[in-house]
Amino acid sequence: MMRSCPRLSRRLRAIASVLALLGMVAIPLAAQNPILEFSFESDPVTIPQASIRSASLRVENISVHEADNIEIALLSGPIEVTAGELIDVLGAFSDVLLNVPLSADADARIGEALAQFELTYTYCIGDLCFQIVEEVSLGIDVVAALTVPIDGPLPDPIVAKPVVDDGNAWRIVVPLGLGLLLALALIASRWIGRRWWVTLLLVGVLAVGLGYGISLKQDQQAQSIGAVLCTSCVGIEETPHRDPELSDDGQQRVMALTERIELLLFSAPWCHACPYAKELVRQVTELNSLITNQVIDVDEDRDAADRNGIIQSGRTIVPAILRVDTGEVLFGIEDLEERLMTLLEESP
Amino acid sequence: MKIAKGRRLGQSLGLLLGFFGATGIGMTHLIFPGLHCYACPWAISICPIGLAQNLIIFGTVPYYWIGMMVVYGLAAGRGFCGWFCPFGTLNDLLSFRKVKIRDAVSYSKFLVLAATLIGAWLFADTIFCKLCPVASLEASIPYLFMGVAKVNRPFLIHMGTLAVTLVGMVLIARFWCRYLCPMGALLSLFNRVSFLKLRLDKTRCSGCAVCTTECPMGIEPHYQYDNHNCIKCGRCVDSCHLGALSMEVSVKGSE
């Protein structure tokens, strides 16, 4: 009995380590998933013909990310949605009850029917934004018009009852804590010995990982991450947290330009400094129509970066702004306004 | 002395491959089996820790990354720290004081690894890279001379972490590898299952503990020949006059 104990605990450790590895895989997976849950509280909704009613829609954010621009649209059903924009921002782990204003025409068919809605929202992790579209259905019971039709002002789709519900946090905290506990158990224990089946298991993981990963072109993805240097990613520059605003002096200098100037802005979707550069160049091109800009994603079009000399010692550096006629390039965003002005004012 | 020579060769190869981009070869699809900044102008392979953070930010399930880590882990475990990693080599060059390891404190590198990955997920940013002393040495400084980087706050933070790490390395041999390296933490998980292995013949060991005074990682090889901190550098093997310790490469299971 005493002898079998260490063996058992080794097995448990093996299981723990596999679970911990799975946990490590599960965390990144959570990133692209829907983060909101929708449910109608009043189902079905009774609407008399030629009148407006509202349906209570509960929206729960089950993630650490903020959801933006939650909108609703009708796909099918005997009614109409009178205001599609529901709410601008819903914070992490929060929960709201919204009124969705619905109207039935005077000639809407009487009887029960199912309405299908499409809910759209976006959320961002850094510069990466995802748009999520989900469908929900609601039972509608259209009844005969009331003798005095109610046609008052539209009910506002405002937050009726904002509740911060920490109960949802477990969805993230529990798997994370479990993974951490397992990792700690792994660390605290002595690692399982070199058994043939451990080696076999690892060779299996290796073969599947490499084979499937390469079939998904993850090696190319890795290469493209390595080949592009985002100046704010490794701490060469500060990550900007605010959008730039062209100074008054800058605006006048831009408006005074009389030559046609073509700019190319090289960026990558995951680069944190790129939106700053894009925004500044956008403001410049808006002020003076002689200046044009084209944004190039270096992940998509590496050749363009190659042709235009955005590559320094094997690294494509983003953000980079190229003035096409002079071939001059600005890397990064530090003192960008001043450097951009100098670039624009130079005569070719 | 054979192992020491072989190891120097391995470390030279690590340095050569780490900075092979000086030949103009550019970035390859390979992941480096050590901590080596991919932003380095001369790197030809990707930093595993930097890549892991980026994959988390992307929300990619990292099949390729896991596959490569298992390849390295199975082959040598932390052997790469002792035989290949350029930053490990720098640690080696500065290892004057061989201090006994505090085993409990050495787990701090796992916290660094966990914080790195969770930080990438929570903030969608490569936080570790902004503090990493390897990036200070291999990216910040070269780019400063190339005119891409400037002396600004992030640069000074990099110099700060580099200075602290260098002082740590001088005071405690292999300070970075022992306590802070997230790649070391990752590889150490595989240390006991890897093919490259340290062996102890207990019948030959007299318990003189010469190996302990030689060990740069501060472990006691004659007790803990399969310690997760062992970088398989083989100094203990070279120091043992009785031939009780040996290095071996075997695919077969040990038990």
Q: Specify whether the CB–CB gap between A346 and A326 falls below 8 A.
A: yes
Please say if the pLDDT value at position B241 is more than 60: yes
Report yes or no on B255 lying in a domain.
Answer: no
Report yes or no on B253 lying in a domain.
Answer: no
Q: Are residues B183 and B225 in the same domain?
A: no
Q: Read off the pLDDT band of A305 (50, 70, 90).
A: confident
| pLDDT average, residue stretch A53-70 | 82
- Buried-state track B182-216, b at ≥16 Cβ within 10 A, e below 16: bbbbbbbbbbbbbbbbbebeeeebeeeeebbebbb
Q: Are residues B241 and B151 in the same domain?
A: no
Q: Specify whether the CB–CB gap between A123 and A63 falls below 8 A.
A: yes
What is the structure's pLDDT at B158?
A: 94
Q: Which residues of chain A have a CB within 8 Å of the CB of B41?
A: 312-315
Instruction: Check residues A234 and B74 and name the one with the higher pLDDT.
Output: B74
Other CB atoms within a 10 A radius of the CB of residue A68 amount to: 15
- Judged by a CB distance cut-off of 8 A, whether residue B249 touches chain A is no
- Buried-state track A204-243, b at ≥16 Cβ within 10 A, e below 16: ebbeebbeebeeeebbebbbbbbbbbbbbbbbbbbbbeee
Phi, psi angle pair for A286, to nearest 5°: -70, -35
- Judged by a CB distance cut-off of 8 A, whether residue B117 touches chain A is yes
Q: Do A225 and B51 touch (CB under 8 A)?
A: yes
Q: Average per-residue pLDDT in chain A?
A: 76
What residue in B sits closest to A329 (Cα-Cα)? B148
Lowest mean pLDDT segment, chosen from A196-205, A220-229, A273-282, A317-326: A196-205
Please say if the pLDDT value at position B115 is more than 50: yes
Quick one: which of B31, B47, B6 has its CA closest to B238?
B6
**Residue tagged 């060469």 (tokens):** A236
Q: Average per-residue pLDDT in chain B?
A: 88
**Euclidean distance between CA atoms B121 and B58, whole angstroms:** 9
What is the structure's pLDDT at A8?
A: 52
| pLDDT average, residue stretch A175-197 | 53
**Euclidean distance between CA atoms A322 and A263, whole angstroms:** 6
Q: Which CATH number goes with the domain that contains B212?
A: 3.30.70.20
- Judged by a CB distance cut-off of 8 A, whether residue B255 touches chain A is yes
Lowest mean pLDDT segment, chosen from A19-23, A96-100, B62-66: A19-23
| pLDDT average, residue stretch A173-200 | 55
**Euclidean distance between CA atoms B245 and B230, whole angstroms:** 13
Q: Which residues of chain B have a CB within 8 Å of the CB of A220?
A: 29
Q: Which residues of chain A have a CB within 8 Å of the CB of B63?
A: 208-210, 212-213, 216, 218
What is the structure's pLDDT at B36?
A: 92
Which domain does B223 fall in, by range? 197-248
What is the structure's pLDDT at A297?
A: 87
Q: Read off the pLDDT band of A168 (50, 70, 90).
A: very low
In percent, the amount of chain A with pLDDT more than 70 equals: 73
Phi, psi angle pair for A321, to nearest 5°: -115, 125
What is the structure's pLDDT at A13?
A: 65
pLDDT in tens, A67-94: 888 888 888 888 888 777 788 888 777 7
What token pair was written down for A209?
């990982």
Instruction: Spell out the residues 6+ positions from residue B244 whose beta carbon is closer than 8 angstroms to its own.
Output: B200, B201, B202, B204, B205, B206, B222
Q: Are residues B121 and B227 in the same domain?
A: no
Touching A: B residues 30-59, CB under 8 Å: 31, 37-39, 41-47, 50-51, 54-59
Question: Kind and range of the H or E element at A96?
Answer: strand A94-104
Q: Are residues B71 and B159 in the same domain?
A: yes
| pLDDT average, residue stretch A236-264 | 86
Q: Specify whether the CB–CB gap between B38 and B46 falls below 8 A.
A: yes
pLDDT in tens, A109-132: 888 888 889 898 988 776 567 788
Q: Do B129 and A233 touch (CB under 8 A)?
A: yes
Q: Specify whether the CB–CB gap between A226 and B46 falls below 8 A.
A: yes
CA angle B94–B97–B99, rounded 5-degree value: 125
Q: Specify whether the CB–CB gap between B235 and B214 falls below 8 A.
A: yes
Please say if the pLDDT value at position B104 is more than 80: no
Q: Are residues B132 and B41 in the same domain?
A: yes
Of B169, B188, B207, the residue at which a domain comes to its end is B188
Q: Are residues B166 and B242 in the same domain?
A: no
* Common-topology check for domains A33-164 and A248-345: no
What is the structure's pLDDT at B1?
A: 59
Q: Are residues B126 and B229 in the same domain?
A: no
Question: Kind and range of the H or E element at A89?
Answer: strand A85-90
Q: Are residues B201 and B170 in the same domain?
A: no
Question: Kind and range of the H or E element at A307?
Answer: helix A302-307
> Residue B169 CA to chain centroid, in angstroms?
13
| pLDDT average, residue stretch B107-134 | 90
Q: What architecture does CATH give domain A33-164?
A: Sandwich (2.60)
Q: Are residues B96 and B142 in the same domain?
A: yes
| Most confident range, picked from A297-306, B37-46, B189-198 | B37-46
Which of helix, strand or coil describes residue A237? coil
**Euclidean distance between CA atoms B255 and B252, whole angstroms:** 9
Instruction: Check residues B60 and A228 and name the one with the higher pLDDT.
Output: A228
What is the structure's pLDDT at B85?
A: 95
Of B21, B31, B157, the CB nearest to A222: B31
DSSP-assigned letters across all residues of chain B: -HHHHHHHHHHHHHHHHHTGGGGT----SPBPSS---TTSTT--SB-HHHHHHHHHHHT---HHHHHHHHHHHHHHTTHHHHHT-HHHHHHHHT----PPP-HHHHTHHHHHHHHHHHHHHHHSS-HHHHH-HHHIIIIIHHHHHHTSS-SSHHHHHHHHHHHHHHHHHHHSTTHIIIII-HHHHHHHTTTTTSSEEEEE-TTT-----HHHHH-TT---TTT-TT-TT-----HHHHH-TT--EEEEE--S---
Please say if the pLDDT value at position B98 is more than 50: yes
What single-letter amino acid sits at B62? Answer: P
**Euclidean distance between CA atoms A150 and A146, whole angstroms:** 8
Q: Read off the pLDDT band of A213 (50, 70, 90).
A: confident
Report yes or no on B254 lying in a domain.
Answer: no
Q: Which residues of chain A have a CB within 8 Å of the CB of B29?
A: 219-220, 222-223
Touching A: B residues 187-246, CB under 8 Å: 189-193, 197, 226, 228
* Bridge pairing between strands A67-76 and A85-90: antiparallel
Lowest mean pLDDT segment, chosen from A135-149, A223-237, B66-80: A135-149
pLDDT in tens, B152-171: 888 999 999 999 999 999 99
**Euclidean distance between CA atoms A170 and B48, whole angstroms:** 30
Q: Are residues B172 and B106 in the same domain?
A: yes
Other CB atoms within a 10 A radius of the CB of residue A39 amount to: 12
Q: Read off the pLDDT band of A153 (50, 70, 90).
A: very low
Peptide bond into A155 cis (omega under 30): no
| pLDDT average, residue stretch B7-29 | 86
Please say if the pLDDT value at position A231 is more than 50: yes
Split into its structural domains, chain B has a count of 2
Beta bridge partners of A123: A67, A130
| Most confident range, picked from A232-246, A311-325, B63-77, B240-254 | B63-77
* Bridge pairing between strands A128-143 and A45-48: parallel
Q: What is the dihedral of CA B180, B181, B182, B183, to 10 degrees?
A: -170
Instruction: Check residues B134 and B207 and name the one with the higher pLDDT.
Output: B134
Q: Are residues B182 and B202 in the same domain?
A: no
| pLDDT average, residue stretch B29-57 | 90
- Judged by a CB distance cut-off of 8 A, whether residue B119 touches chain A is no
Lowest mean pLDDT segment, chosen from A118-127, A182-191, A242-251: A182-191
Residue-range domain boundaries for chain A: 4-30+186-215, 33-164, 248-345
Q: Are residues B71 and B164 in the same domain?
A: yes
Q: Read off the pLDDT band of A164 (50, 70, 90).
A: very low
Which of helix, strand or coil describes residue A142? strand
**Residue tagged 């109960």 (tokens):** A167
Instruction: Check residues A57 and A185 and name the one with the higher pLDDT.
Output: A57
What token pair was written down for B75?
């082959």
Lowest mean pLDDT segment, chosen from A88-102, A147-161, B236-250: A147-161
- ipTM topping 0.90: no
| Most confident range, picked from A230-234, B99-103, B158-162 | B158-162
CATH class of the structural domain A248-345? alpha beta
